[in-house]
Homo-oligomer: A and B are copies of this chain.
Amino acid sequence: MIFEESVALVKKELEAVEVALQENFMSDVVMIPQISKHLSEGGGKRIRPLLLLTSSKLCGYNNGNRHINVCCVVEFIHSATLLHDDVLDDAAIRRGKAAANVKWGNEASVLVGDYLFSKSFQLVAKDNDFKILDSVSEASRRLIEGEVLQLTQRKSIITTEEEYFDMVKRKTAALMASSCQAGAILGKAPEKVEQALFMYGEKIGIAFQLIDDLLDYISDDEKLGKPARNDLKEGHVTLPLIRAYECSDAGEKEFIDQLLGAEELAREDTTRILDLMEKYDVISYAMGKAREYVQQGKKEIAELPPSVYLDSLNAIADYIVENRVELCLKNPTY
């Protein structure tokens, strides 16, 4: 199965999620639906709803609309953190559109992010299942811990791979793991299946962020829909840079140290970093790590009974590494 078929398999449900997101954006405070509309027009792959819907179907959930409602919960948590990330990074572009903070100001982005957080928990309240509440509130807390860790590690090249993976596991993987787990809870799956889906989500979530961080270095603005090489500019120390530093000799290490301490980045600095990454084959290294996590993710669900939804989860796992890299590179040679 390929990714497009995974999407097609739950197409009706994904459309219902879009409608529900719009409905839940409604408020008599006009600025809220305005910004929300801008956010949802920005699109995004709705990868978390896709994981949740597929997991719920895999576990036999097939009556009622709880899965649509819980998709809104995880997507709102995700959107809230995107809004706040934009403020933190002062990002001007997100998904090829002006970021909300530029259009409405940082204040509005902070507040509408808060609104989406509150709203997400109101939607969990509506769902009325404490297992779901436990799962998404734990994911939400871990996600924010990951963001705080990212802030703490900023401009710090002494960040180790271990610390980086710990941060990624919280920042990105926790909510994907919870999305899969929530699907299992909806389908009243046995504990073992619920745990397998959680672990699958966590592993592919790590791979997802790894590829994001890699694409930041190897893709371009147009294909990414946001400025490339932004992590370096913002001082986010991600795997490609950590690996390059590990391999570097003393002179190269000094260059990277200086770069992270500098106020501004010159074009030749970026070029030299990219040269170092090529010299030490950092891209292959990061791709290798991402593929490892995808394999681990697939292994977690390997013993579940065969079904079209299981095939779909495997296809999503492959998409997360292979297809995203393909789409974002003109000549993918990795």
B84 touches A110 (CB 8 A): yes
Q: Which residues of B are found within 8 Å of A81, using beta-carbon distances?
A: 114
A 63-79 contacts with B by CB, 8 A? none
A133 touches B140 (CB 8 A): no
Cα(A145)–Cα(B137), bound, Å:
21
Rounded to whole Å, the gap between the CB of A123 and the closest CB of chain B is: 9
Interface flag for A138 (CB, 8 Å): yes
Which one of B31, B110, B149 contacts A88 once the chains associate, using CB atoms below 8 Å? B110
Residues 84-114 of A, flagged 1 when their CB comes within 8 A of B and 0 if not, give 1001100000000000000000111011111
A148 touches B88 (CB 8 A): no
Cα(A152)–Cα(B119), bound, Å:
20
A151 touches B115 (CB 8 A): no
Which one of B106, B112, B134, B149 contacts A125 once the chains associate, using CB atoms below 8 Å? B134
A130 touches B125 (CB 8 A): yes
Q: Which residues of B are found within 8 Å of A30, using beta-carbon distances?
A: 152
Cα(A203)–Cα(B130), bound, Å:
32
Which one of B114, B130, B145, B151 contacts A144 once the chains associate, using CB atoms below 8 Å? B114
Interface flag for A333 (CB, 8 Å): no
A115 touches B32 (CB 8 A): no
Interface flag for A307 (CB, 8 Å): no
Q: Which residues of B are found within 8 Å of A147, using beta-carbon distances?
A: 111, 114
From known contacts A119-B141, A137-B121, infer whether A31 and B114 are also in contact, taking CB-CB under 8 Å: no
Q: Which residues of B are found within 8 Å of A148, using beta-carbon distances?
A: 29, 31-32, 108, 111-112, 115
Cα(A90)–Cα(B278), bound, Å:
43
Q: Which residues of B are found within 8 Å of A138, using beta-carbon distances?
A: 122, 125
B84 touches A111 (CB 8 A): yes
From known contacts A32-B145, A128-B130, infer whether A151 and B108 are also in contact, taking CB-CB under 8 Å: yes
Cα(A144)–Cα(B125), bound, Å:
17
Which one of B112, B125, B152 contacts A137 once the chains associate, using CB atoms below 8 Å? B125
* 21 pairs from A and B in contact (CB 8 Å cutoff): A28-B145, A29-B145, A29-B148, A29-B152, A30-B152, A32-B148, A81-B114, A84-B111, A88-B111, A112-B148, A113-B114, A115-B141, A117-B117, A118-B137, A122-B134, A122-B137, A122-B141, A125-B130, A125-B137, A130-B130, A133-B133
A→B interface (CB under 8 Å)? 27-32, 80-81, 84, 87-88, 106-108, 110-115, 117-119, 121-122, 124-125, 128, 130, 133-134, 137-138, 140-141, 143-145, 147-149, 151-152
